[in-house]
Amino acid sequence: MTDQLPASGIPRPARRLAAVTPLLLVLAACSTAGPTGTPGPSAGPTTAPTPTVPAGIEHPTGAKDIVLRFEEGGGFVPIDFLATQAPSFTLYGDGTVVFRDPQAIPPEPVGNVNRSVPFQTISLGEAGIQALLEQGLGPGGLGIAVGPYMGLGADIPTAIFTVNANGRTKQVSVTGLSPDMHPNNAVIVGQLSRFADQLRTFGNGIVGEAVYQPTAYRGVLTKIDQVNGPVAAWPWPDVAPTDFLAGQNEFLMTRTMTPAEVAVLGIQGIEGGLIGLNVQKAGKAYSFALRPLLPDETS
């Protein structure tokens, strides 16, 4: 199989096994319930004690309140990947986590269409929320990081951390998430980089997750002059290209789409999104991309 860019659009480094950290042990002990609160499989080695984590860090508790988020994107990638960029990890106030491994191998292409890695979801208890916040604000560096940290280089991805705790929302961006690229801030960037690795490999420390089922999607339309690959007829009788509106990027026209509208495409396994679908209407050709909306997103 030909290697592809991952869902985040960031070149995939060689896979490596993540070390077992205290954070992962805490999460394994806390994630014994599935996304709907039903009992899940036994978590972690039976010899590992269940850590007791005090609920000492205040945070919002709503199902759409972001408590901790990690996103990577930008850099030198095709415009379709920018259109479908999404946070790879989000912890919400009620303990719901929606995540995906940004280095996972995507499903096989369907013709000219590349399908993205699906998101996963699981519900954590308060101890799990506290473990993530304690790790992020402490050893993870978010408690003292200020940013933005601009790395030495051009056309490199930017990592963005968002944390909402103790009555304060804080966002830290790092362009080039490697200490070597930040000689004047190597220590703090090193902390942030290690925490990012833990969030990227979050799925290694839990059991009972399920595929995230979006309630809405972002459809992204791009006009194209020269078509690469097959072209399908416009699939939506009740939706026109003019229903997709331009935003900050004039080349990308977007529209919020329902699961029923997405199902009209007839392509299986696109819960994680897709790129590369060429469609045509009234003699004009477009490239269509799709990205699932997360619980806090409306468009």
**pLDDT for 113:** 94
Q: Is residue 17 part of a domain?
A: no
Q: Is residue 8 part of a domain?
A: no
What percentage of the chain reaches a pLDDT higher than 90?
68
Q: Does residue 62 sit in the same domain as residue 205?
A: yes
Q: Does residue 98 sit in the same domain as residue 112?
A: yes
Distance CA 229, CA 257 (A): 24
Query: Could you tell me the CA-to-CA distances from 229 to 94, 184, 188, 232 in Å, in that order?
Result: 44, 47, 46, 10
Q: Does residue 111 sit in the same domain as residue 91?
A: yes
Q: Does residue 121 sit in the same domain as residue 222?
A: no
Q: What are phi and psi of 115, to 5 degrees?
A: -95, 140
Q: Is residue 15 part of a domain?
A: no
| Runs of H (alpha helix) within 109-236 | 126-137, 186-200
Q: Does residue 28 sit in the same domain as residue 170?
A: yes
Q: Is residue 152 part of a domain?
A: yes
Query: Structure pTM?
Result: 0.83
Q: Is residue 7 part of a domain?
A: no
Q: Does residue 56 sit in the same domain as residue 120?
A: yes
Distance CA 160, CA 177 (A): 10
Q: Is residue 45 part of a domain?
A: no
Q: Is residue 4 part of a domain?
A: no
Q: Is residue 145 part of a domain?
A: yes
286 neighbors 224 (Cβ within 8 angstroms):
yes
Q: What are phi and psi of 292, to 5 degrees?
A: -65, 145
Q: Does residue 159 sit in the same domain as residue 253?
A: no
Q: Does residue 126 sit in the same domain as residue 219?
A: no
Counted domains in the chain: 2
Query: Could you tell me the CA-to-CA distances from 133 to 27, 163, 243 in Å, in that order?
Result: 12, 8, 41
Distance CA 279, CA 230 (A): 9
Domain housing 276: 214-292
Report the candidate in 289, 287, 256, 258 with the shortest Cα–Cα distance to residue 272.
289
- Boundary of a domain, candidates 178, 210, 242: 210
Q: Does residue 229 sit in the same domain as residue 109?
A: no
199 neighbors 8 (Cβ within 8 angstroms):
no
Q: Does residue 196 sit in the same domain as residue 228?
A: no
User: Given a cut of 50, is residue 127 above it in pLDDT?
Assistant: yes
How far does the chain reach from its first CA to its final CA, in angstroms? 34
Q: Does residue 125 sit in the same domain as residue 148?
A: yes
Across the range 30-56, mean pLDDT stands at 41
- Boundary of a domain, candidates 191, 210, 229: 210
Q: Does residue 104 sit in the same domain as residue 170?
A: yes
**pLDDT for 25:** 53
Facing residues of 253 across strands? 221, 246
Q: What is the mean pLDDT of the chain?
A: 84
Mapped onto helix, strand or coil, the DSSP state of residue 287 is: strand
181 neighbors 153 (Cβ within 8 angstroms):
yes
User: Given a cut of 90, is residue 152 above it in pLDDT?
Assistant: no
Q: What share of the chain is helix, strand, coil (3-state, %, to 5)?
A: 20, 25, 55
- Boundary of a domain, candidates 151, 186, 210: 210
70 neighbors 88 (Cβ within 8 angstroms):
yes
The tens digit of pLDDT for each residue in 230-257 reads: 999 999 999 999 999 987 667 889 999 9
Q: What are phi and psi of 160, to 5 degrees?
A: -125, 120
Distance CA 126, CA 92 (A): 11
281 neighbors 207 (Cβ within 8 angstroms):
no
Which of the two residues, 78 and 43, has the higher pLDDT score?
78
89 neighbors 160 (Cβ within 8 angstroms):
no
Mapped onto helix, strand or coil, the DSSP state of residue 64 is: coil
Give residue 34's pLDDT band: very low, low, confident or very high (50, 70, 90). Answer: very low
Give residue 40's pLDDT band: very low, low, confident or very high (50, 70, 90). Answer: very low
Tokens encoding 79: 């415009």
28 neighbors 43 (Cβ within 8 angstroms):
yes
